[in-house]
Structure 1
Amino acid sequence: MYETTRYLAAGDHALVMEFGNEIADAINQKIRAMSLAIEQENIQGISELVPTYRSMMIHYDPLMISGENLTRQLRRLEQQLADIQLPPPRVTVIPTLYGGEYGPDLATVAGHNQLTEAAVIEKHTSREYLIYMLGFTPGFPYLGGMDPAIATPRLATPRTKIRGGSVGIAGSQTGIYSIDSPGGWQLIGWTPVPLYDPEAATPILLKAGNYVKFEAVSQADYEAMKPQLQNRTYTCREYPFIPGGDGHA
């Protein structure tokens, strides 16, 4: 984390607050607190907040507020972040079918790390992953905390179409493709749970600042889930995140 937050102009309609140059929980906490502080302050002229791993872009209307005035108000809010109470994070359990047609690159990840496929699955499902941000496509979660023992480089040649719900690994990151899209991540599994449903009351399943826990399920489990998935009544299991917990609830 930087000793002093950097305020950078991004044209005449946006400002970037840069908190550090690494992926870290402390930076994520500050970004979340700052986002909440801005929302509570309801600064006139701000149209959108775009949080990332280490920064946040604030879009604003220069006819309603100047960049200088906005920066001044943001600096004031930043000094008050210790008073911001973030909502307790929760863990969403994502049922996942691993390997085979659902995870065509599982063998590649196993071979790259000199592990069995079962060991890759065990390591991938053993962690609670912090959702640092959503992006790339609607609802795509960028997750932190993957076991480095299963880190694997991206594909040399990206696929032109990846099925929505595919669970992948790229370097030291893991994530879930929220919709059909191109991509170069190593695919190890697939979840039938939609991360983005434009017709749902809450179109985006996951929220930045919460956690994801992958749970390996069988084909039989999937078949049993299908009726609820088809009529949109399936609900992922959730539980409170406990720092230092064992990842089970």
Structure 2
Amino acid sequence: MNLVRVGARACLVEVEDAVTAASLATWARESGPAADEIVPAATTVLFDGVDPAEVAAALPHWSRDAPPARGPVVRVPVTYDGPDLEAVAAHWGCSADEVVALHTSLELVALFSGFAPGFSYLSGLPAERSVPRLESPRARVAPGSVALADTWCGIYPSASPGGWLVVGTTDVVLWDADLPQPALLAPGTRVRFEVAG
């Protein structure tokens, strides 16, 4: 763990992985230093609006065994018609139906957000189901695309370039700036995918 000052009133705490970052962020929000914002990412947690010395003094009180936040379960209906569904099946050595069965059997957890407003990095895909990114990213991925990369799953909230493998689509709205909590899949949210009826 390493602390990097970012000006007088902010710092980044570098950790080994996203689960650890989520755990640290959860602890910090509940009983850590009083920061204006605490933002987890893949291997860092940003503490903004607090003296870095306060963060450094508080960190020894955090237990690495503390679990990340466990938020509500959000069910996401998916039409499994993605252009990369067969490629994922080939990579896993199974049928497209088996990809769907595995994907809908998992409970994934939003560990952090980034890339675009409403895009959450969902953890929980088994390590043996890791998939590579596209060699050449697409210039445009449609909003609502459900995609995999490495051991992550994500849903594109808006049209954007992207290199993840798209396995399906959903009509769920992921970002609404008019809501008190604009992101549907805030960190800690548990996600269950299901076949759209």
- TM-score (normalizing by structure 2): 0.86
* Equivalent in 109, 122, 125 of residue 88 of structure 2: 109
* Equivalent in 26, 34, 55 of residue 28 of structure 2: 34
**Deviations, residues 205-248 of structure 1 (Å, cap 9, x unaligned):** 1110121111111xxx3xxxxxxxxxxxxxxxxxxxxxxxxxxx
Q: Distance in 1 between matches of 2:99 and 2:68?
A: 33
Q: Tell me which residue corresponds to 1:137.
A: 116
- Alignment gaps of 5+ in structure 2: none
* Equivalent in 95, 119, 124 of residue 77 of structure 2: 95
Report the residue type matching 1:173 in the other structure: W
| Cα distance, 1:31–1:124 mapped onto 2, change above 3 Å | same
Report the residue type matching 2:141 in the other structure: I
> Secondary structure of 1:53's partner?
coil
* Equivalent in 115, 127, 135 of residue 106 of structure 2: 127
| Cα distance, 1:71–1:93 mapped onto 2, change above 3 Å | same
Is 2:11 the counterpart of 1:15?
Answer: yes
* Equivalent in 29, 40, 59 of residue 51 of structure 1: 40
> Secondary structure of 1:15's partner?
strand
Aligned 8 A contact 2:26 2:69 in 1? no
Q: How many angstroms does 1:154 deviate by?
A: 0.7
Q: How many angstroms does 1:143 deviate by?
A: 1.1
| Cα distance, 1:184–1:120 mapped onto 2, change above 3 Å | same
Q: Tell me which residue corresponds to 2:154.
A: 175
Aligned 8 A contact 1:28 1:54 in 2? no
Q: How does 1:65-84 map to 2 (within 5 A)?
A: 70-81=51-62
> Secondary structure of 1:195's partner?
coil
| Cα distance, 1:87–1:161 mapped onto 2, change above 3 Å | closer
Q: Greater Rg, structure 1 or structure 2? A: 1
* Equivalent in 140, 143, 146 of residue 164 of structure 1: 143
Q: Distance in 1 between matches of 2:128 and 2:102?
A: 8
* Identity within the alignment, %: 30
**Deviations, residues 56-113 of structure 1 (Å, cap 9, x unaligned):** 12234xxxx7xxxx1222234335557x9987532111111102xxx11101111122
Q: Tell me which residue corresponds to 1:236.
A: none
Q: Distance in 1 between matches of 2:161 and 2:178?
A: 23
Aligned 8 A contact 2:5 2:52 in 1? no
Q: Tell me which residue corresponds to 1:235.
A: none
Q: Distance in 1 between matches of 2:29 and 2:42?
A: 13
- Runs of 4+ in structure 1 deviating by more than 4 angstroms, as ranges, are 79-82, 84-88
Q: How many angstroms does 1:117 deviate by?
A: 0.2
Greater RCO, CA 8 A, separation 6+: 2
CA-based RMSD of the aligned residues comes to: 2.5
Q: How does 1:198-209 map to 2 (within 5 A)?
A: 198-209=177-188
Q: How many angstroms does 1:164 deviate by?
A: 1.2
